[in-house]
């Protein structure tokens, strides 16, 4: 028989354990209550409520007998495991501003996933920004196929990979000064050319850079032999740029005619080698980079020359005429060369039609950095998206393929540039 003396400490111990257990239980509940501001979430109507018909009243009235919300944090994201079963993703999308306000987070994406337990509700995931402090080229996934290129990681941590063969042949990068345009151009171009090197041993493309600063792309020029960089601010280099693009256009037009003569229709010329190995090889495609567009693709006044015109005026007239030719060439490349293998990256601070001779509708995809409310409305359709202060160097809104998503671009100066 156990004596009272041995039972007593056991009872005390059990009582203590229960006490500690209760304390932990309530502490966690209270913490959760404040952390997720459950009272406010309840007001949104997202709690799971169990109801029974109230038997005491004759009228058909329901009584809430339990009301719960399963909510926890998983890395950067907030997961709802138990919630109003009448609600689906569109309802949470609608409540996004309220949820952001209550939870004090910025929701980048909302999705659901299958529950591990079959009879449970599918959890709803509220994704918040999951950017690293800095992304580098070494974070780029491997084994791309030629024609594919990496923009960076989206706010929900997915790789944003585009493909020339699927129509992603032009990319416009627009943001205020210092927004990271130059770095993004180099990152995208490197990813694109490296893929070719990895797959075929050579970067295959002819690279032409129109750089109105003339200083920003030494990294690319050094790394990819044959890269031509011209500064269209100088008349002789502008002449050369026009000549290079005219001869490129001629080659493409001739090959287009050759395909037509042979009755070939194909969605993309990069597929020709595999599909029609007996055809003449395609003209070497071009990676065309145009930075600081407003320096040379801008509307100019017309100049009339007569026998009294000064040398300066004659030169200015030539410059403006060449600029017009250059703009026509770039616009027609954007309009007609989609399937030829060309890849065009354009960059500037603003994209206002009255300031540029570039046809915006010809650009397929955009990386948009921080900008004015006016530019935000023009490009994204609201005044808020581009005035977001978190769009700092290297962070952009990607607009394309029906998506508007935040993306982080790798920072090249930190690695093998």
Give the footprint of ligand ATP on this chain (CB under 6 A).
134, 175, 177-183, 393-394, 409, 411
Binding partner of residue 409 among ligand ATP, Mg ion, none, CB under 5 to 8 Å per kind? ligand ATP
Q: Does 341 bind Mg ion (CB under 5 A)?
A: no
Q: How far is the CB of 394 from ligand ATP (least distance, A)?
A: 2
Binding partner of residue 338 among Mg ion, ligand ATP, none, CB under 5 to 8 Å per kind? none
Specify the 3-state DSSP secondary structure of 373.
helix
Q: What are the angstrom distances between the C-alpha of 262 and each of 40, 167, 250, 267, 278? A: 69, 24, 18, 15, 12
Please say which residue, 292 or 323, places its beta carbon nearer to Mg ion: 292
Q: Residue 102 and residue 120: Cα distance in Å, rounded?
A: 26
Backbone CA torsion sign across 343, 344, 345, 351: negative
Please say which residue, 363 or 409, places its beta carbon nearer to ligand ATP: 409
Out of 123, 152, 182, 400, point to the residue binding Mg ion (CB under 5 A).
182
Q: How far is the CB of 348 from ligand ATP (least distance, A)?
A: 9
Q: How far is the CB of 201 from ligand ATP (least distance, A)?
A: 29
Site string for Mg ion, 137-176 (x = CB under 5 A): ----------------------------------------
Q: Residue 302 and residue 49: Cα distance in Å, rounded?
A: 72
Within residues 219-278, the interface with Mg ion by CB under 5 A covers none
Q: What are the angstrom distances between the C-alpha of 404 and each of 70, 324, 397? A: 30, 33, 6
Cβ neighbours, 10 Å, residue 276? 13
Q: How far is the CB of 186 from ligand ATP (least distance, A)?
A: 8
**Which stretches of 96-206 are DSSP H helices?**
96-103, 181-200
Q: Nearest residue by C-beta to ligand ATP?
A: 394
Binding partner of residue 109 among Mg ion, ligand ATP, none, CB under 5 to 8 Å per kind? none
Instruction: For 24-58, give one letter per residue: b (16+ CB within 10 A) or e.
Output: eeeeeeeeeeeebebeebeebebbbbeeeeeeeee
User: Which one of 22-30, 42-50, 182-190, 402-410 is the stretch in contact with Mg ion (CB under 5 A)?
Assistant: 182-190
DSSP secondary structure letter of residue 95? T
Structure tokens at 224: 């990819």
Q: Does 369 bind Mg ion (CB under 5 A)?
A: no
Please say which residue, 339 or 371, places its beta carbon nearer to ligand ATP: 371
Q: How far is the CB of 157 from ligand ATP (least distance, A)?
A: 16
Longest dimension (CA), the chain: 128
Q: How far is the CB of 411 from ligand ATP (least distance, A)?
A: 4
């Amino acid at each position: 028989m156990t004596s009272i003396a041995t039972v007593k400490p056991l009872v005390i111990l059990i009582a203590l354990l229960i006490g500690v257990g209760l304390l932990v239980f309530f502490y966690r509940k209270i913490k959760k209550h404040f952390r997720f501001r459950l009272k406010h979430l309840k007001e949104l109507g997202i709690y799971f409520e169990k109801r029974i018909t109230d038997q005491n009243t004759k009228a058909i009235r329901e009584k809430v007998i339990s009301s719960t919300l399963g909510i926890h944090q998983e890395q950067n994201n907030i997961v709802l495991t138990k919630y109003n079963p009448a609600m689906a993703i569109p309802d949470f999308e609608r409540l996004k501003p309220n949820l952001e306000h209550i939870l004090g987070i910025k929701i980048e994406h909302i999705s659901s996933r299958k529950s591990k337990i079959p009879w449970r509700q599918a959890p709803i995931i509220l994704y918040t920004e999951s950017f690293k402090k800095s992304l580098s080229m070494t974070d780029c996934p491997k084994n791309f196929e030629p024609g594919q290129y990496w923009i960076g990681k989206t706010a929900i941590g997915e790789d944003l990979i585009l493909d020339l063969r699927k129509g992603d042949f032009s990319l416009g990068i627009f943001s205020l000064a210092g927004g990271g345009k130059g770095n993004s151009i180099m990152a995208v171009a490197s990813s694109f050319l490296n893929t070719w090197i990895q797959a075929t041993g050579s970067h295959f493309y002819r690279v032409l850079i129109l750089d109105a600063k003339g200083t920003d792309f030494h990294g690319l020029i050094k790394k990819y032999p044959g890269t031509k960089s011209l500064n269209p601010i100088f008349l002789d280099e502008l002449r050369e740029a026009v000549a290079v693009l005219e001869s490129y256009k001629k080659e493409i037009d001739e090959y287009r005619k050759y395909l037509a003569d042979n009755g070939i229709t194909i969605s993309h010329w990069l597929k020709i080698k595999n599909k029609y190995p007996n055809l003449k090889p395609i003209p070497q495609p071009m990676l065309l980079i145009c930075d600081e567009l407003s320096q040379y693709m801008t509307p100019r006044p017309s100049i009339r020359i007569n026998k009294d015109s000064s040398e300066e005026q004659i030169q200015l007239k030539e410059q403006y005429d060449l600029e017009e030719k250059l703009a026509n060439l770039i616009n027609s490349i954007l309009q007609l060369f989609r399937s030829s293998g060309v890849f065009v990256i354009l960059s500037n601070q603003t994209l206002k039609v009255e300031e540029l001779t570039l046809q915006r509708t010809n650009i397929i995809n955009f990386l948009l950095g921080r900008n004015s409310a006016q530019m935000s409305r023009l490009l994204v359709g609201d005044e808020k998206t581009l005035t977001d202060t978190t769009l700092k160097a290297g962070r952009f809104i990607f607009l394309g393929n029906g998506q508007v998503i935040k993306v982080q671009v790798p920072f090249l100066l930190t690695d093998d540039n």
